[in-house]
Amino acid sequence: MNYTVLRVWGIPIRLNISLFVFLPILAWLIGSGEQLAAYATLINSMTPATVEAAQLTDADRWIIGTAAAIGLFASVTLHELGHAWAAMRYDIEVESITLWILGGLASLTEMPKEWNREFWIAVAGPVTSLLVGAVCLAALFVVPESATLVVFALGLLAVMNVVLAIFNMLPAFPMDGGRVLRAVLARNRSYVSATRTAARAGIAFAIVFIFLGVVVAFSPVLVLVALFIYIGATTESRTVVIAELLSGFSVSDLVSQSETVPADATAETILARLLSARRTNLAVVDKSGTVVGAITASALRDIRPAEYETTTVGEIATTDLPRIDGETSAFDALQELRSGRSEAVLVERDGVPIGLVSQEDFTAVLNFRRDTVAF
């Protein structure tokens, strides 16, 4: 569940509910004795300020931890706004920026396949984090050393932003460094091949992180990051391959392959057709041949076998299916089908249904393309 808290350049900034749970934990982790002692050493080595973690009270630690936790996610927001700014420079719309337990995510309406565009959009985030870190570091040269809490908070944000930039530039897809790797590889090879290589690098990093988080030093957060990278890498690789396989197809191209059944046919007849066609759904047409819905295997399961001979398809057909224009690309149609709860969608041309398309139709086309196309 996400909550929109503000808009920047018209982009909604949303907070995921997981963030509300994680922020207090992060504040405690940052404010703990060992963590602050380590940060104090870094701050003292980078700036003229001298801070001592041992002199802080418990209240001071909570204040510093809370300020740093909130400041970190503010920094993540700026990081994502860096991506958004670069994307908008290429006229790519940014749908939203969402902050959650593992950071932030700028959702773009499309990811550019031009290597140079993806490169600059990817590096814009880490560059922004480095700039934010530099500003915090510079502030330490003017803030009085007596303002211990402020010095600690600014020092933490300086360190965190530098770490944020470095960590995001690891060549582990789908992180920024993985996208940079794909962009560089895409200069001399296909987009699909570059994605596969970047995804493999991401999976390798995920395995290393899981090993470190479980075997070397127990760290649930590192394990979560590893799972995020693994899922993101495999999902992106699969999505890019599917998009390439469906490239050049509109959803109406799939309709011609689908069968239709008359609304006055009996359930018994349709059961046999579903079995012979090895499908779980078929388009239903009225007497004029117009598609009016779909008959599914699940609908047949809802009636008793004794009623198969007396029940017509029209009586149990699903007629409130989602509708999609036939000119829609096959890939976009597949994404819409997967995001909904329906087993199929009605395809329209000029507002008139022309056929039914289900997951099975996409599977058949993808299998055929996979056997005939080499990447």
- pLDDT digits over 184-234, tens only? 998 888 888 888 888 898 899 889 888 888 777 767 778 888 888 888 888
pLDDT score recorded for residue 53: 62
pLDDT score recorded for residue 78: 92
Per-residue confidence at 175, pLDDT binned at 50, 70, 90?
confident
Is 80 catalytic? The answer is: yes
pLDDT score recorded for residue 123: 93
Q: Decide which of 251 and 182 is more confident.
A: 182
pLDDT score recorded for residue 258: 59
Q: Which residues contact 267 (CB under 8 A, 6 or more apart)?
A: 300, 303, 307, 308, 309, 311, 312, 313, 316
- pLDDT digits over 304-315, tens only? 777 777 777 777
pLDDT score recorded for residue 31: 72
Per-residue confidence at 256, pLDDT binned at 50, 70, 90?
low
Beta strands in 180-336 (DSSP E): 260-262, 281-285, 291-296, 323-325
Strand partners of residue 98: 14, 105
Residue numbers belonging to the annotated binding site: 79, 83, 176
Q: What is the mean pLDDT of the chain?
A: 80
**Spatial distance between the Cα atoms of 334 and 178, rounded to a whole number of angstroms:** 26
Residues 101, 224: contact at Cβ < 8 Å? yes
pLDDT score recorded for residue 142: 82
Q: What average pLDDT does this structure show over 60-73?
A: 82
pLDDT score recorded for residue 83: 92
Q: Which residues contact 172 (CB under 8 A, 6 or more apart)?
A: 178, 201, 202, 204, 205, 206, 229, 233
The residue whose two tokens read 């058949």 is: 364
Q: Of 92-101, 233-242, 290-299, where does mean pLDDT reach its minimum?
A: 290-299
CA 57 centroid distance within chain: 41
291-296 and 323-325 as β-strands: parallel, antiparallel, unpaired? unpaired
In the three-class reduction of DSSP (H, G, I as helix; E, B as strand; rest coil), residue 136 is classed as helix
pLDDT score recorded for residue 277: 65
Per-residue confidence at 333, pLDDT binned at 50, 70, 90?
confident
pLDDT score recorded for residue 131: 94
11-16 and 94-100 as β-strands: parallel, antiparallel, unpaired? parallel
- pLDDT digits over 11-34, tens only? 898 888 887 777 887 777 777 766
Q: Does residue 257 register a pLDDT over 60?
A: no
Q: Tell how many helices (H) and how many strands (E) occur in the chain.
A: 14, 10
Q: What average pLDDT does this structure show over 164-189?
A: 88
Q: Does residue 283 register a pLDDT over 70?
A: yes
Residues 320, 346: contact at Cβ < 8 Å? no
10 Å CB burial of residue 320 (0-12, 13-18, 19+) is exposed
10 Å CB burial of residue 232 (0-12, 13-18, 19+) is buried
Per-residue confidence at 122, pLDDT binned at 50, 70, 90?
very high
End-to-end CA distance of the chain: 38
Per-residue confidence at 149, pLDDT binned at 50, 70, 90?
confident
pLDDT score recorded for residue 51: 67
Q: Does residue 267 register a pLDDT over 70?
A: yes
pLDDT score recorded for residue 129: 93
Q: Decide which of 242 and 259 is more confident.
A: 242
Per-residue confidence at 375, pLDDT binned at 50, 70, 90?
low
Q: Which residues contact 57 (CB under 8 A, 6 or more apart)?
A: none
3-state helix, strand, coil in the chain (%, to 5): 60, 15, 25
Point out the catalytic residue in the list 34, 52, 80, 259.
Answer: 80
**Spatial distance between the Cα atoms of 357 and 254, rounded to a whole number of angstroms:** 7
- pTM for the full predicted model: 0.74
Residues 9, 77: contact at Cβ < 8 Å? no
What percentage of residues in the chain have a pLDDT greater than 70? 90
In the three-class reduction of DSSP (H, G, I as helix; E, B as strand; rest coil), residue 93 is classed as coil
